[in-house]
Amino acid sequence: MNRLEQLQRKFPHIPRSIILKTDVTRLGIRHSPALSQAGAWASPQTLIIFDRDHEEPAPRKSLTTEGWVSLPQEMHLQDSSLVGLSLDSRSPYQVVEGEGRYLLCLGEESVDEVSFDLMPRWYHQRTRSGALMSTVGAVCGDLFATLTTNHCQYFNTGEQCRFCCINPTTTRSQELGIGRTITRAMEDVVETFTAACAEGNIGHYVITGGSFVDRRKEGATYQRFASALANVASRFGNIPGVVFSQALEEEDMRRIHEMGAGNLEVCFPLEVWDERVFERVCPGKARYVGRKTWLDSLLKAVDIFGAGKVICQFIVGSEVMPGYGFASWEGGMKSTLEGMEWMMERGIIPIANMVRAAKGTLFEEIEPPPTEYFLALDWERHQLMVKYNMPAPRSRCRGCRPNACEYDYVHLLTSPAL
C-alpha cells in the first residue's frame, strides 16, 4: 500500500484529489526533465511575490529569462484541481512524460495524469515605458496578480512574519536576471492588466504587496491601485477583485469600497489566531498593528463591504511550528478552528494556506506538520463553512487556488455530511 492509499484509508470521507493535492503541497515535487520540457511553453514561475521552492533547483539559472523561470508554476490534476509546484528533492513525487502525456508519479507509480496552462501571450509584451509585462503582473490560473511593492518593511528590523519570503524572493529574482523593480509605475500596471484582460481568461484580480510600517501610507497606495484596476475591470465585465493587505484604517476601507463599486473584497490576513503565537510568528504585525486592532478592522470591514466580502487568511501549520506555536497538534488545531469559527460568526470568510518551509523564510529549516494535520484541520474548516452557510470568496475560484482546497471542497462535496 503506497502513501496515497494509506492517507485515503485514514480519511475516507475526503475526496482522493484533495488528499493528493494536500500531500503534494506539503511534500513538494522533485525536479525532473519533464518539468523543464513543459517549462518551454507552460505558464512559468515569475517569482512575482513568493518563491515556494524549498531549495534552488540545479538548472534554474540556465532556465531563467528576463521575465521568468522556465519551469511550470502549477499543474492541473485530471479532475481539474489546481496544484502549485514547490520543488523539493526530498519529495517522493515527480512528473514524468510519456507518449505525449504528463504523469504525476509517487515513486515509480503513476497516481494521476496532469496538465499545464499555456503561458499567456502578454508575458512577452512590453509597456510603453519598456517594462516587460510579466515583471509587472502575473497570472495564477485565471487570477491576475500585481503588487504595490515587492518589499515588506518589517524585514528591515527582523520582524517579518516567520513564514514569509517576499524580500528574499525579490533579491533572488533579481540575482537570476528577472527585471523586476521594487515598486511599479501605475501606467505600467494599467497597461499590463488591460493586456491581460483583453487576451481573455482573467476571472479575478488581486492587489497585494509588502507591509508598510505606516498604515496610512499603505492605505493611500492601495487606494491608487484599487481605483486604477477597478476602472480597467469595469471595461471587461466588472471582473471581481480583492485588496490583500494589512488591516487598513476605516477611511481607507471606505474609499476602496467606493472605488470598487461593489466588485472589490478585502483580505486582512491575521495568519494565526492565538495571541501569544501571533506575537511570535508575526512580530511586525503584532508590534505595529496589534491583534485587537486587526480584529476591529476586520469587523469594521464587514460593516463597510458586507458579510461574505471580507476575508482573513490563516497560514495553517504556523501555529504548531516548533519554537513558535503549540506543543501539540491538538492544541494548534483547536485554536485555529476557534479563530475560524469566530470569523464565520461575524460574516468574515477564513481561508487557509498551508505553511511551507520555503527558502528564505525563518521556517526554512523547520519541519512543518505532516499531511494528516492539514487534512484533518481543513476538513473541520469545511464543516464549519457548511454550518454557517459561508460562501467561498467571489474574488477567487477553484481555478486559481493552487495551495488551498476551499473551492475543491465546494466543488467535490456539494452535500457534505456534518
Domains of the chain (ranges; CATH) run 28-114 (no CATH), 121-412 (3.20.20.70)
Q: Which amino acid is at 186?
A: M
Q: What is the pLDDT of residues 96-134, one digit of tens each?
A: 998 889 999 999 999 999 999 999 999 999 999 999 999
pLDDT at position 1: 87
What backbone phi and psi angles, to 5 degrees, belong to 53? -70, 145
Strand blocks (E) in 90-149 = 93-98, 101-106, 109-114, 137-140, 143-147
Instruction: State the DSSP code for 29.
Output: B
The β-bridge relationship of strands 348-354 and 310-316 is parallel
Distance of CA 187 to the CA centre of its chain: 25
Q: Is pLDDT at 415 greater than 80 in this prediction?
A: no
Q: Is pLDDT at 416 greater than 70 in this prediction?
A: no
pLDDT at position 417: 40
pLDDT at position 166: 96
pLDDT at position 184: 92
Inter-axis angle of helices 16-27 and 371-387, to 10 degrees? Answer: 130
pTM for this structure? 0.95
Q: What is the pLDDT of residues 11-27, one digit of tens each?
A: 999 999 999 999 999 99
Give the mean model confidence (pLDDT) for residues 353-362: 93
H/E stretch holding 242: strand 241-244
Residue with cell 511586525: 284
Residue with cell 499545464: 116
Q: What is the pLDDT of residues 370-399, one digit of tens each?
A: 999 999 999 999 999 999 999 888 899 999
pLDDT at position 413: 85
pLDDT at position 418: 33
For the chain, how long is the longest CA-to-CA vector?
58
Average per-residue pLDDT for the chain: 94
Q: What is the pLDDT of residues 155-202, one digit of tens each?
A: 999 999 999 999 999 999 998 899 888 999 999 999 999 999 999 999
Q: Which residues pair with 60 in a beta bridge?
A: none
Cell of 380: 473541520
Between CA 260 and CA 282 the distance in angstroms is 29
Between CA 230 and CA 224 the distance in angstroms is 10
Q: What is the pLDDT of residues 227-273, one digit of tens each?
A: 999 999 999 999 999 999 999 999 999 999 999 888 999 999 999 99
